[in-house]
Amino acid sequence: MKPDVQEITLHTSGRLSRLLVGQSHDQLDRYLPEGKTVMITDDHLWDLYPALFKGKPTIRMGTGEKVKTLQTVEKIYRELIDLEADRSTFLVGVGGGIVCDVTGFVASTYMRGVSFGFVSTTLLSQVDASVGGKNGVNLGGYKNMVGVFNQPAFVICDCDMLSTLPTAERLSGLAEVVKHGLIGDAGLFAFLEENVAEARSLARTAALRMVSDSITLKSAVVTRDEREAGERRILNFGHTLGHALEKVCGISHGEAVSAGMMFAVHLSVARNLIPRTAADRIEALLADLGLPLRIDARPEELLDALRRDKKREEDRLFFVLLNRIGKAVVVPLMMDEVARELGIYYT
Amino acid sequence: MKPDVQEITLHTSGRLSRLLVGQSHDQLDRYLPEGKTVMITDDHLWDLYPALFKGKPTIRMGTGEKVKTLQTVEKIYRELIDLEADRSTFLVGVGGGIVCDVTGFVASTYMRGVSFGFVSTTLLSQVDASVGGKNGVNLGGYKNMVGVFNQPAFVICDCDMLSTLPTAERLSGLAEVVKHGLIGDAGLFAFLEENVAEARSLARTAALRMVSDSITLKSAVVTRDEREAGERRILNFGHTLGHALEKVCGISHGEAVSAGMMFAVHLSVARNLIPRTAADRIEALLADLGLPLRIDARPEELLDALRRDKKREEDRLFFVLLNRIGKAVVVPLMMDEVARELGIYYT
């Protein structure tokens, strides 16, 4: 085992989840229980890592957000039936957020729930999806409309698998890392400022730090509020407008979150929660990492998408703003306030 | 409120569920939280109880086991999106086991879970499905292959709605009541023997006793073992072969469970766990209630269905036998033993 592998343990709803940062995917067998294992992955990873699937029944799904559907879930259920998977079968999702979201939902609902683990292969899934137990699929053009909360038994975060990531995937992960620094870890934010080239290229040491700090922060938040009743909402920093931008403009998650964070930063400055100098630092870091600061869109279209946000409750939408770099605050905004702010920002 | 209404409280996974035995469906509003409610029911109940749905958005599904599918679930998700249901929306399933199973699964997975309650309208759903938090749908010809464990906030068990039940529905409920007596409540079994006509006709007093005793027994078992790791298995008494019979012979659930119980009684006598006189009492009660004692089928076909049972673990199938009337014991049988016993019983 590499000397710098770290294990972080997460407790939610009485269950335990092992997060193995820097562990190699070829150590998977160490974490599997006795009995039958079925692997679930996408065509891309199947081609890249044949040794990982050798000798194990494997269900393959396509790639991209378009396969994150109930139809894919049903197809996997049927393959599990054909493989005679039973309640003692263990499922392993190997992939990024999409494979892990689908696998987690399938495992949580097949025969009313079987145990599962992940080999998390993208920066985004390592820093974000691996913790928190959110899973699910899209429906009717809306993201994650169907799913449950359920944490895997383990997540192997193999930083060496990140070297093959496409740019959009890399940027999506980096946007979440910046988010974690902003909402709860000023030390991580400073690390990114000081090591921006290593962070941007996902050099092993920087990747380990980003993944480990992100998981530590997110674990702490999620443990205190598993079902997003309160504090967990801070993890949506940049995501409220981000999801709307992603939907309306068809851009990548990372670009959308980056621009969404800058809108939240703008609101935070406008409300005198943070000084202009803090906003400048955030802007500089995002730009240095190659992330966009602003995505133009028509306010009415964004507003329409926000109305369909599953976090909307009646006429209120909870926006996450900053108190300072490293500290977030949740502010409920009425939909007409949101409309006004969007109108101002997008003139 | 009627003077004989009873409230039984169930605690599972830190949540509380109120079981309202004998309460009238027209008291539903007393149990609803503030905010939006969406009703889910079938065409039959929509026609029978128009007042119950008046002024509330209602999603209707078809009737029968054939609609207990992922397609129905997806259709309901889409209607919920159209109704702008959000995370604070409360869902009420009005119907028997099928409506409640589908509603429970939809509520547990829509936006990763919203709160829900039931108006339980059949004897089977009142004595069985209302407690235990099992929900889900069928897939590929197998029952309840997809679902989760999640208990509703409340279940209104309106015994006066039972008067319109078709015979097959009535018998299915009665079979479960007999099962509850056999596995854990000798007093209930004796009550049924002594009040067989009232039980058979679902007279209010007998119905209240059957529902209340069944819920009390099942609650106790489920509270001790929510996820069916051990003791809860006794609730499968008669169901292992029963499900196979249901699948192979296309008979009703009640008929299948009754015949399945008699097979389990046969095994219990063969192993000297209970005397022949106990078997005779059980046989007499089932016959007096109008339930079948034996359904003929080809052993090979039954065995094939049992192999697909989701309770099978590798080569073992857990059979529930009786130690005496009122006490069950779980016995793991190897598949070849099961084959031998079926061969003996069906010669």
Position B129 confidence tier, pLDDT thresholds 50, 70, 90: confident
- Lowest model confidence (mean pLDDT) among A310-314, A316-320, B21-25: A310-314
Which amino acid, A284?
Answer: A
Of B113, B140, B310, the CB nearest to A148: B113
Residue B337 φ/ψ, nearest 5 degrees: -65, -45
3-state SS assignment for residue B325: coil
The distance of A337 to chain B (nearest Cα, Å) reads: 20
Please list every residue in chain A whose beta carbon sits closer than 8 Å to the beta carbon of residue B111.
145-147, 310
Region of A330 (left: φ > 0; alpha: ψ -120 to 50; beta: rest) is beta
Segment B30-57 mean pLDDT:
96
Query: How confident is the model at residue A132, as a pLDDT?
Result: 83
Flag whether pLDDT at B32 surpasses 90. Answer: yes
Of A74, A81, A134, the CB nearest to B142: A81
Of B77, B86, B140, the CB nearest to A81: B140
Position B280 confidence tier, pLDDT thresholds 50, 70, 90: very high
Of A74, A86, A108, the CB nearest to B148: A108
pLDDT digits (tens, 9 = 90+) for A112-168: 999 999 999 999 999 988 888 899 999 988 889 999 999 999 999 999 999 889 999
Please list every residue in chain B whose beta carbon sits closer than 8 Å to the beta carbon of residue A310.
86-87, 111
Query: How confident is the model at residue A44, as a pLDDT?
Result: 93
Q: What is the DSSP letter of B112?
A: T
Q: In angstroms, what CA-CA distances link A190 with A4, A22, A326, B23, B97?
A: 22, 22, 10, 61, 57
Position B281 confidence tier, pLDDT thresholds 50, 70, 90: very high
pLDDT digits (tens, 9 = 90+) for B213-268: 999 999 888 888 766 667 889 999 999 999 999 989 989 889 999 999 999 999 99
Cβ contact B152:B17 at 8 Å = yes
Query: How confident is the model at residue A14, as a pLDDT?
Result: 67
Nearest CA in chain A to B106: A146
Cβ contact B87:A311 at 8 Å = yes
Flag whether pLDDT at B120 surpasses 80. Answer: yes
Position A231 confidence tier, pLDDT thresholds 50, 70, 90: confident
Query: How confident is the model at residue B4, as a pLDDT?
Result: 85
Q: Which of B76, B60, B72 is nearest to B137 (CA)?
A: B72
Q: Which of B1, B19, B2, B23 is nearest to B10 (CA)?
A: B19
Cβ contact B345:B245 at 8 Å = no
Tell if the CB–CB gap between A134 and B146 is shorter than 8 Å: no
Inter-helix orientation angle B167-184/B204-224, to 10°: 50
Q: Which of B333, B342, B268 is nearest to B304 (CA)?
A: B342
Query: How confident is the model at residue A13, as a pLDDT?
Result: 67
H/E element, A103 = helix A97-109
- CA torsion, ordered B40, B45, B46, B49, to nearest 10 deg: -120
> Tokens 């990548």 sit at which residue?
A252
Percent of chain B with pLDDT over 90: 80
Tell if the CB–CB gap between B112 and A136 is shorter than 8 Å: yes
Flag whether pLDDT at A68 surpasses 70. Answer: yes
Length in residues, chain A: 347
Q: Which of A57, A59, A254 is nearest to A173 (CA)?
A: A254
Query: How confident is the model at residue B66, as a pLDDT?
Result: 93
Query: How confident is the model at residue B1, as a pLDDT?
Result: 63
Query: How confident is the model at residue A148, as a pLDDT?
Result: 95
Mean pLDDT score across all residues of chain A: 93
How far is the C-alpha of B287 from the C-alpha of B281, rounded, in Å?
Answer: 10
Most B CBs within 10 A among A15, A87, A112, A227, hence the mutation to make, goes to A112
Percent of chain B with pLDDT over 70: 98
Cβ contact A140:B81 at 8 Å = yes
Flag whether pLDDT at B310 surpasses 80. Answer: no
Q: Are strands B58-61 and B137-139 parallel, antiparallel or unpaired?
A: unpaired
Query: How confident is the model at residue A23, as a pLDDT?
Result: 96
Range list of H helices, chain B: 43-48, 50-53, 70-82, 97-109, 123-124, 167-184, 186-194, 196-201, 204-224, 239-249, 253-270, 276-288, 299-307, 335-345
Percent of chain A with pLDDT over 70: 98
pLDDT digits (tens, 9 = 90+) for B109-119: 999 999 999 99
CB-count exposure of residue B204 (10 Å: 0-12, 13-18, 19+) = middle
pLDDT digits (tens, 9 = 90+) for B72-84: 999 999 999 999 9
Segment A219-236 mean pLDDT:
82
Most A CBs within 10 A among B71, B89, B110, B112, hence the mutation to make, goes to B112
The pTM of this model reads 0.88
pLDDT digits (tens, 9 = 90+) for B145-201: 999 999 999 999 999 999 889 999 999 999 999 999 999 999 999 999 999 999 999
Of A36, A77, A308, the CB nearest to B139: A77
C-beta neighbour count of A11 within 10 angstroms: 13
Q: What is the DSSP letter of B161?
A: G
Residue A20 φ/ψ, nearest 5 degrees: -110, 95
Q: Which of A290, A202, A286, A300 is nearest to A244 (CA)?
A: A300
Nearest CA in chain B to A149: B112
How far is the C-alpha of A95 from the C-alpha of A328, rounded, in Å?
Answer: 30
